[in-house]
C-alpha cells in the first residue's frame, strides 16, 4: 500500500479512539498518535451481533471549530492530515482485499463548513459502494449543520449513522463547544433521521449519538434524561459515553479526568432504559443527580425494592424477571420457555439456563421458597445489568 496513504492513516486513525462506536472492547490509547497505522483496526460487534474487523479513521484532522476539549480544535498545534474521498476509498478497498478489514467507521474534522465536510464523507461512501461494489459495513458520521438531503443520502449509503451531541442540553454544550448550537446543528439531525425511518419506505440504518462525560459540569441525570428521550421518542439504537480526559494545549487541560467507572455506570443505566424497562426516575441518583460509583444501578434498585418483596421466578412476567440482578433479556426468555416444561425449584435450574443464579438469589423465590445458598447478603459481583454479555459485547 502507498507509504503516504499509510502515513496519513497513522495520523488520522488512532484519534478515533475518542469516538466510541462498535469496537470490542473500547480501547483508549493514552496518546492518539501511533507509529502503527493498523492500530486503528478494531474488533467490532455490529447490530445483530456479527463481529468484524472495523477500520476507524477521520477523513481530515483539520478543523475550523474550537471545542474546548478537542485535540484537533482550531489553533492547537497538532499534526494535520487529510484524505481525499478517492484516496481513502482506494486504501480501504486494498485493506479489505487483503483481509485486514471488513467495515469502516468514518468521521472527520470540520473543514470548510459542516455541509462541505458531509459531502466528502458521502463521496467516500459512494465510491466504496458504486465504484468498488463494497457491500459491507459502513458507519458514517453526520456533521454539525449537515443538510436534510445530505442526511438522507448518508442513510442510503450507510449501515449506521451517528450525530455527536457531546452534551445533554444547550447550556452544557455551550461550555464545551462555544460555536456549536445544540438544536439547530445537532439535535435536529437526529429528528430528521427518526422522521426518515418513520415516514419514508426503505431499509434504513440505525442511529447513535455520543456524549462527552464530565467536562461541562453535567450530571448523570441530565445525560440519561436526554438518552431516554432519544431511545424512546427518536428510536436511537444506543448512546455512547466518552469520559473526559484532558489534552495538553487545550483550554480544559487542567480539568480533572472523569473516572472510568462513571462512564461504565452510564452504560449500565442506558441499557436499563433501553432493554430492561426502567425509567430515569427509578435510577439511584444521589442529591447531585449522579449515580453511585460503588454499586451497579440495577443492584441498587433491587436492594431497595426486592429484598422484602422477592420475585417468584415461576410466575413472574418478563418485565418482572428483568428487574432481578443476574437476569438479562436472554435469561428471561429462557426462563419463560423453561417454565412451560415444569417448575424451576433450585438455583441449579437457573444456572443451566445461563442465568447468574448467585446474583439473583437474594431477590427471588423458587416454587415459593427462598433458594438455599452459601453467599453473603449481597452478590460479590455488582455487574448485574450485563447479566447477559457485557455492554460492549451484547448491546450493539
Rounded mean pLDDT of the chain? 91
Task: Note whether 306 and 299 are within 8 A (CB).
Answer: no
> How distant, in Å, are the alpha carbons of 35, 288, 337, 338 from that of 341?
58, 48, 8, 5
Indicate whether 396 belongs to any domain.
no
Per-residue pLDDT at 385: 42
Query: Where among 282, 311, 328 does a domain terminate?
Result: 282
Q: Which three cell numbers stand for residue 181?
A: 448550537
**How many CB atoms lie under 10 A from the CB of residue 198?**
10
Instruction: Give all strands of the β-sheet with 103-107 in edge-to-edge order.
Output: 41-45, 51-58, 103-107, 137-141, 160-166, 206-213, 238-243
Task: Note whether 121 and 143 are within 8 A (CB).
Answer: yes
Residue 326 clears pLDDT 60, i.e. is over it: yes
Indicate whether 97 belongs to any domain.
yes
Question: Residue 374 — very low, low, confident or very high, per pLDDT cuts 50/70/90?
Answer: low
Indicate whether 226 belongs to any domain.
yes
Q: Residue 87 sits in a domain of what CATH number?
A: 3.20.20.70
- For residues 262-279, average pLDDT: 97
Residue 390 clears pLDDT 50, i.e. is over it: no
Same domain flag for 239 and 366:
no
Indicate whether 292 belongs to any domain.
no
Q: Which domain holds residue 57?
A: 3-282
Same domain flag for 97 and 183:
yes
Per-residue pLDDT at 65: 94
Same domain flag for 22 and 134:
yes
Helix, strand, coil tally for the chain in percent (to 5): 40, 15, 45
Residue pLDDT, tens place only, 170-220: 999 999 999 999 999 999 999 999 999 999 999 999 999 999 999 999 999
Same domain flag for 273 and 127:
yes
Indicate whether 269 belongs to any domain.
yes
Residue 388 clears pLDDT 70, i.e. is over it: no
Residue pLDDT, tens place only, 249-265: 999 999 999 999 999 99
Q: Which residues contact 172 (CB under 8 A, 6 or more apart)?
A: 216, 217, 218, 222
Indicate whether 289 belongs to any domain.
no
- For residues 323-340, average pLDDT: 97
Q: How many domains does the chain have?
A: 2
Q: Which three cell numbers stand for residue 332?
A: 428471561
Same domain flag for 71 and 214:
yes
Same domain flag for 161 and 85:
yes
- For residues 47-73, average pLDDT: 93
Same domain flag for 276 and 301:
no
Per-residue pLDDT at 14: 85
Indicate whether 165 belongs to any domain.
yes
Best CA proximity match to 286, nearest among 198, 220, 373: 220
Query: Where among 282, 310, 340 does a domain terminate?
Result: 282
Per-residue pLDDT at 266: 98
Per-residue pLDDT at 23: 83
- For residues 54-83, average pLDDT: 93
Residue 310 clears pLDDT 60, i.e. is over it: yes
Exposed, middle or buried: residue 316 (CB in 10 Å: 0-12, 13-18, 19+)? Answer: buried
Residue pLDDT, tens place only, 126-162: 999 999 999 999 999 999 999 999 999 999 999 999 9
Same domain flag for 236 and 305:
no
Q: Residues of the chain with pLDDT > 90: what percent?
A: 82
Task: Note whether 359 and 379 are within 8 A (CB).
Answer: yes
Same domain flag for 193 and 46:
yes
Task: Note whether 210 and 222 are within 8 A (CB).
Answer: no
Of 116-130, 133-147, 364-378, give the lowest mean pLDDT range.
364-378
Per-residue pLDDT at 384: 41
Indicate whether 291 belongs to any domain.
no
Q: Which residues contact 94 (CB under 8 A, 6 or more apart)?
A: 1
Same domain flag for 215 and 317:
no
Same domain flag for 118 and 50:
yes
Residue 277 clears pLDDT 60, i.e. is over it: yes
Amino acid at each position: 500500500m502507498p507509504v503516504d496513504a499509510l502515513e496519513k492513516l497513522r495520523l488520522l486513525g488512532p484519534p478515533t479512539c475518542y469516538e466510541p462506536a462498535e469496537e470490542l472492547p473500547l480501547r483508549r490509547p493514552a496518546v492518539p498518535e501511533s507509529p502503527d497505522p493498523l492500530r486503528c483496526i478494531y474488533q467490532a460487534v455490529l447490530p445483530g451481533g456479527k463481529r468484524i474487523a472495523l477500520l476507524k479513521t477521520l477523513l481530515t484532522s483539520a478543523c475550523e471549530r474550537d471545542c474546548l476539549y478537542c485535540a484537533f480544535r482550531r489553533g492547537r498545534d497538532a499534526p494535520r492530515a487529510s484524505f481525499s474521498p478517492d484516496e481513502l476509498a482506494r486504501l480501504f478497498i486494498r485493506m479489505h482485499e487483503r483481509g485486514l478489514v471488513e467495515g469502516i467507521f468514518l468521521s472527520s474534522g470540520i473543514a470548510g463548513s459542516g455541509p462541505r465536510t458531509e459531502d466528502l464523507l458521502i463521496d467516500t461512501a459512494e465510491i466504496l459502494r458504486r465504484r468498488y461494489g463494497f457491500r459491507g459495513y459502513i458507519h458514517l458520521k453526520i456533521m454539525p449543520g449537515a443538510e436534510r438531503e445530505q442526511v438522507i443520502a448518508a442513510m442510503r449509503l450507510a449501515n449506521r449513522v451517528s450525530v455527536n451531541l457531546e452534551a445533554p442540553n444547550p447550556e452544557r454544550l455551550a461550555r464545551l463547544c462555544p460555536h456549536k448550537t445544540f438544536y439547530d446543528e445537532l439535535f435536529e439531525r437526529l429528528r430528521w433521521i427518526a422522521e426518515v425511518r418513520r415516514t419514508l419506505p426503505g431499509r434504513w440504518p440505525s442511529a447513535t449519538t455520543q456524549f462527552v462525560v464530565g467536562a461541562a459540569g453535567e450530571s448523570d441525570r441530565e445525560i440519561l434524561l436526554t438518552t431516554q428521550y432519544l431511545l424512546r421518542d427518536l428510536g436511537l439504537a444506543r448512546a455512547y459515553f466518552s469520559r473526559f480526559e484532558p489534552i495538553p494545549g487545550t483550554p480544559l487541560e487542567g480539568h480533572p479526568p472523569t473516572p472510568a467507572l462513571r462512564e461504565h455506570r452510564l452504560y449500565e443505566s442506558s441499557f436499563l432504559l433501553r432493554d430492561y424497562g426502567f425509567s430515569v426516575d427509578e435510577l439511584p441518583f444521589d442529591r447531585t443527580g449522579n449515580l453511585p460509583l460503588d454499586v451497579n444501578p440495577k443492584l441498587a434498585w433491587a436492594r431497595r425494592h426486592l429484598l422484602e418483596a422477592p420475585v417468584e421466578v415461576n410466575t413472574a412476567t418478563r418485565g418482572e424477571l428483568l428487574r432481578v440482578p443476574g437476569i438479562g433479556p436472554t435469561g428471561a426468555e429462557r426462563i419463560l420457555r423453561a417454565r412451560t416444561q415444569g417448575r424451576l425449584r433450585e438455583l441449579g435450574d437457573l444456572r443451566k439456563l445461563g442465568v447468574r443464579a448467585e446474583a439473583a438469589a437474594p431477590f427471588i423465590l423458587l416454587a415459593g421458597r427462598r433458594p438455599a445458598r452459601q453467599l453473603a447478603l449481597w452478590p460479590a459481583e455488582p455487574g448485574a445489568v450485563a447479566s447477559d454479555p457485557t455492554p460492549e459485547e451484547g448491546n450493539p
